Amino acid sequence: MALDKYFEPREAEPEIYRRWEESGAFVADADSEREPFVISMPPPNATGTLHTGHAVMLAIEDLMTRWRRMQGYEALWLPGTDHAAIATESRVIGDLQKQGMPDPRHELGREGLLQAIREFVADSQDTIRRQIRAMGSSCDWSRERYTMDPQLNRVVIAVFARMFRDGLIYRGPRIVNWDPALQTTVSDDEIDSQERTAKFYTLRYGPFLVGTSRPETKLGDTAIAVHPDDERYKDYVGKTYEVPWPKGPTITVRVVADSKVDPEFGTGALGVTPAHSHIDFEMAERHDLPLIQVIGEDGRMTEAVGPHYAGMTVEECREAFAAELDAAGLLESVEDYQQNTSICYRSKQPIEPLPKPQWFIDVNKPAVPWKGQRLSLKQVMRDAVASGDIRILPEHQERTYFHWIDNLRDWCISRQIWWGHRIPVWYRGEEEMYVGHRPPGAGNVDEAAREGWEQDPDTLDTWFSSALWTWSTLIDPELAEDETLDLRHLLADSPDFAKFHPTSVMETGYDILFFWVARMILMTTYATGEVPFRTVFLHGLILDRDGHKMSKSKPETAVDPLEVIEEQGADVLRLSMLLGNAPGVDLKLTKERMVGSKRLINKLWNAAKLVDLTLDRILGDARAEGHPEAPADVEHPVNRWMLARVRELVERTTSRLEAFSFGDAAEQIRQSFWGEFCDFYLEAVKVEPLASARETADVLGYAYRTYLALFHPFVPFVTERLWAELFAAGDDEMLIRARWPEAADGHRYPDEAEGVAAVERLVQAVRGLRVEQNLDAGAKIELEVRPLAHDATLRSAEEIVGRLVRAESVTFVDSDPSERPGAAVAVDPAFQAAVRLGSADRDAERQRLEKQLADAEKRLVGLEKQLANENFVTKANPNAVEAVRKNAEDCRATIESAKERLAVLGE
RNA sequence: AGACCCGUAGCUCAGUUGGUUAGAGCGCUACGUUGACAUCGUAGAGGUCAGCGGUUCGAGUCCGCUCGGGUCUACCA
């Protein structure tokens, strides 16, 4: 059969994917005896389209999954999507507004808006699914999950209820990060800080001078805080003052001593506003201070500030109050200063800290049974990584993880939006509260409403449900319909959970280590008693050529993965993201990078054509279909060498993959394939005696087949296609199901490996001579070789050397060919080689020799110095010393030979 | 402010527990189409490993400091 001139990914890839999927190769078997290898795909948001972050995630996870599947693991890669509460709701609301509906929440109502969101999600899920397929992802679509699937909802509520019973979930007034624009709380992690210039006001405040950038909050102060050691204020601590604010309320403040106060900053005295500052709230708890809310959810001042200021926006009030203070002579100074303001990472609007009743997860309560103790969630999270149960790569991220845990506060899990898992709590009046899967009483909504029950309007933080992802996806959907089963039984009776949890690797970007990875550890250890995964592999960010994170706001530098797939194929995109990939290392994805990948794929294709022709030529009609097995033993040194190289490559590649060094693994295969297989072996098999040896067909077929298998997890499409073309595999013998190569026992051949290395050096040396002597590239040369080692191997490669250096003749001699004056000579520990120079350019040869001599002498000086150093000889590793000795010897030989040569030339 | 990462060839990056002459791809230069491949081949140029100091027989590699770049966290009334 003849291969096409080029591989056409656009036509080939979808067809290949279809064959994989229809063959059932992606589907994992929970009943199998094989050891499982499991990856839960980080669920893309059900809103958008595939970006480079998804692409690198898919490339790496598919690589691991294919490789482990080929190794014989029961590989499960479970795909899915996330409902992405805030992102999705604000996207749909935005779309509706653009279509002319100014306030969709009001116009559609809760159920109407949810319906609109559901329709939008269904649509974009299809898009995401198509795009995941286009990447070549070998994930198990039969197990696809969505965070809002019924059995996942069921689990979310079950976990909430259990945590509530265990006292790990509580409701309390807390300062939350309120976004007045989105009318919702946002978590600490959803806040960005933005530097801006603000005014810093210093006010007369009772007997003190107090600095603030937010005078309007002073209307709600309940204390003044100073540092306990601050001599200036020592006498004031404990006293209470009445402070009448102009046109505002008279506030009562107590002076408290708190070590959180920096005596160096401002005046060293600060007004404490417990209702509108996290740090002040904590102080208020320590000193038991009252809390006055002066800013409302709408971002306007409340009634508490009196009729003059009430109803103003925060900014208006700041101006107005400052003006009144100034008029009353209470404003000491106003200066500009740089301030970091918290803004919501989604709405980009300022965050307003407010007190609100919210649901929290208590991370400090020792209520979790873990390894025979009762620990807090925080302690369990720490132990899971510190004990080595979970390994984080790159390792240094473990330190970041611990640092984060140490600073972790209770996790606010309620959100004032509609899209998401609604908090499963019902209230009746102020007193009664009910937590459960169904409404209280008869279990239906209307009935409960008639009895006066009202469900909490809030929904759960998206990360609450995604924190369960590694195992909520493994719950049997039919079991989940049985509401009499508790969480323990749901887990125990789900075959997928038994077989596939804990998962093997969690692969994701380091930017969501805290958002997601840490919370999976928290939730999973609590709910299942198991860790969610054994290894966390954090990939780097994909950067544009300027080293910035790619973003849609800069389309000129961004690479659109879908465009690359369309134009060049998924293999090119994948390889570009995998070559050079290392844990946690950011990757610049550029056009140049993709050129390199494209060329490698092209080389793979072209080599296949030659392999195909050669196999036909040697075997003719005897060429059998199927996959060439490893030949037991072969005779020719070059064939032995090839088998030895393949053997070593298999070992290197496998160990690199086991170490998660994906880029390194790809590089190993590339170097061996291009440098050893293509540039040397494929040239060697063009000449006799290899060209017609039966054993060459065995080695060639086996070697190429091995390269295809090693490359397959990186570039699955083109390798699958070539596998079919060369080895005529049926659907049940596709490469995706082939065995991962193993290092064959017999293929060691150390002598031939060294001998052929000498052949390669000989070829390179002679090629160098050609260039240095300015020999016409077309000229045929006469080469004389005197082997000093590996005699048989060098002689066996006579024809090969002749072809590779374009020699008219290659003659093996017994005497030193360097004694002939009319020749250029190369020396090596294994050989001396001379090229007859018809009309020799002796000056060039002399120059070359002198340079060689100088280099060798310089090097010898260094080596001898090292050997003369007694400390080195006695203390250093004996192997290192021996290596230096050997090296010095070679140097001396080179020097001697060059000197002799120069003498001959001088005659 | 604190923590962490990075600084190696023109560009993008490797460099495994310290050990001979620091590597690869792209780019560049010269030459070359001999039936897989010009999306190719051969050869070559190009690096005081950011700087300073230390440990060591020996440092790109370990330690300290300085400079430069980045990320995260906390934020200061």
Nearest to A834 by CA among A764, A781, A776, A905: A781
Nearest to A715 by CA among A553, A576, A593, A848: A576
Contact call for residues A389 and A57 (beta carbons, < 8 A): no
Structure tokens at A297: 């959810």
Residue A387 has pLDDT above 70, yes or no: yes
Confidence at residue A144, expressed as pLDDT on a 0 to 100 scale: 96
List CB contacts of A652: < 8 A, sequence separation 6 or more.
A665, A668
The residue type of A404 is: W
What pairing do the DSSP bridges indicate for beta strands A208-212 and A191-205?
Answer: antiparallel
Tens of pLDDT, residue by residue over A792-817, are 888 888 888 988 888 888 888 888 77
Phi, psi (5° rounding) for residue A74? Answer: -80, 95
Tens of pLDDT, residue by residue over A230-287, are 888 888 888 999 999 999 899 999 998 887 787 777 788 888 998 888 888 888 877 8
Say whether the CB atom of A259 is under 7 angstroms from strand B.
Answer: no
Say whether the CB atom of A633 is under 7 angstroms from strand B.
Answer: no
Question: Considering only CA atoms, which residue is closest to the C1' of nucleotide B5?
Answer: A396
Q: Which of residues 857-876 of A touch strand B (CB under 7 A)?
A: 859, 862-863, 866, 869, 871-872, 875-876
Structure tokens at A124: 């974009």
Is A608 exposed, middle or buried, given 0-12, 13-18 or 19+ CB atoms closer than 10 A? buried
Nearest to A757 by CA among A818, A674, A680: A680
Question: Considering only CA atoms, which residue is closest to the C1' of nucleotide B30?
Answer: A771
Structure tokens at A574: 């994948």
Confidence at residue A751, expressed as pLDDT on a 0 to 100 scale: 86
What radius of gyration do chain A's Cα atoms show? 37
Say whether the CB atom of A409 is under 7 angstroms from strand B.
Answer: no
- Tell me the nt nearest to A859, Cα to C1': B21
- With tokens 């003190």, the residue in question is A208
Structure tokens at A304: 């508490």
What is the pLDDT averaged over residues A29-34? 94
Distance, in Å, from the CA atom of A521 to the CA atom of A540, rounded to the nearest integer, reads 21
Question: Can you give the distance from the CA of residue A806 to the C1' of nucleotide B31 in angstroms?
Answer: 14
Nearest to A290 by CA among A299, A281, A278: A281
Q: Which of residues 169-188 of A touch strand B (CB under 7 A)?
A: 188
Residue A612 has pLDDT above 60, yes or no: yes
- With tokens 């290898």, the residue in question is A37
Question: Can you give the distance from the CA of residue A520 to the C1' of nucleotide B6 in angstroms?
Answer: 29
Confidence at residue A776, expressed as pLDDT on a 0 to 100 scale: 64
Question: Can you give the distance from the CA of residue A507 to the C1' of nucleotide B69 in angstroms?
Answer: 27
SS3 A828: strand
Q: What is the side-by-side order of every strand in the sheet holding A191-205?
A: A208-212, A191-205, A331-344
Distance, in Å, from the CA atom of A288 to the CA atom of A668, rounded to the nearest integer, reads 65
Q: How far is residue A900 from each of residues A770, A851, A853, A904, measured CA to CA in Å?
A: 21, 14, 11, 6
What is the pLDDT averaged over residues A709-732? 88
Tens of pLDDT, residue by residue over A422-441, are 999 999 988 889 998 888 87
Q: How far is residue A745 from each of residues A71, A269, A350, A630, A639, measured CA to CA in Å?
A: 17, 78, 66, 10, 16
Torsion of CA A699, A702, A707, A711, to 10 degrees: 180
Residue that wins the pLDDT comparison between A641 and A511:
A641
Confidence at residue A500, expressed as pLDDT on a 0 to 100 scale: 96
Distance, in Å, from the CA atom of A161 to the CA atom of A847, rounded to the nearest integer, reads 86
**Residue A774's pLDDT band (boundaries 50, 70, 90)?**
low
Question: Can you give the distance from the CA of residue A280 to the C1' of nucleotide B65 in angstroms?
Answer: 39
Contact call for residues A352 and A274 (beta carbons, < 8 A): no
Distance, in Å, from the CA atom of A711 to the CA atom of A31, rounded to the nearest integer, reads 30
Question: Can you give the distance from the CA of residue A667 to the C1' of nucleotide B14 in angstroms?
Answer: 9
* Burial call A456-480: b when 16+ CB within 10 Å, e when fewer: bebbbbbbbbbbbbbbbbbbbeebb
Question: Considering only CA atoms, which residue is closest to the C1' of nucleotide B4?
Answer: A400
Question: Can you give the distance from the CA of residue A348 to the C1' of nucleotide B67 in angstroms?
Answer: 35
Where is mean pLDDT largest: A186-190, A247-251, A409-413, A581-585? A247-251
Residue A464 has pLDDT above 60, yes or no: yes
DSSP-H helix ranges across A579-636: 591-619
Confidence at residue A524, expressed as pLDDT on a 0 to 100 scale: 94
Half-sphere exposure of A15 (CA within 13 A, CB side): 9
Strand B contact nucleotides, protein CB < 7 Å: 3-5, 11-15, 19-21, 24-27, 31-34, 36-37, 39-44, 56-58, 69-77
Q: Phi/psi class of residue A274: alpha, beta or left (left: φ > 0; alpha: ψ in -120 to 50)?
A: alpha
SS3 A451: coil
What is the three-state SS of A318-330?
HHHHHHHHHHCCC
Residue A725 has pLDDT above 60, yes or no: yes
Tens of pLDDT, residue by residue over A644-666, are 999 989 988 998 898 888 888 99
- Tell me the nt nearest to A874, Cα to C1': B57
Look at A44-53, A87-96, A369-378 and tell me which has the smallest mean pLDDT.
Answer: A44-53
What pairing do the DSSP bridges indicate for beta strands A368-370 and A331-344?
Answer: unpaired
Residue that wins the pLDDT comparison between A105 and A435:
A435
Say whether the CB atom of A765 is under 7 angstroms from strand B.
Answer: no
Structure tokens at A601: 């794929």
Structure tokens at A482: 């049985």
Beta bridge partners of A210: A203
Question: Considering only CA atoms, which residue is closest to the C1' of nucleotide B31?
Answer: A777
**Residue A840's pLDDT band (boundaries 50, 70, 90)?**
very low
Q: Which of residues 261-280 of A touch strand B (CB under 7 A)?
A: 261-263, 265-268, 270-271, 273, 277-279
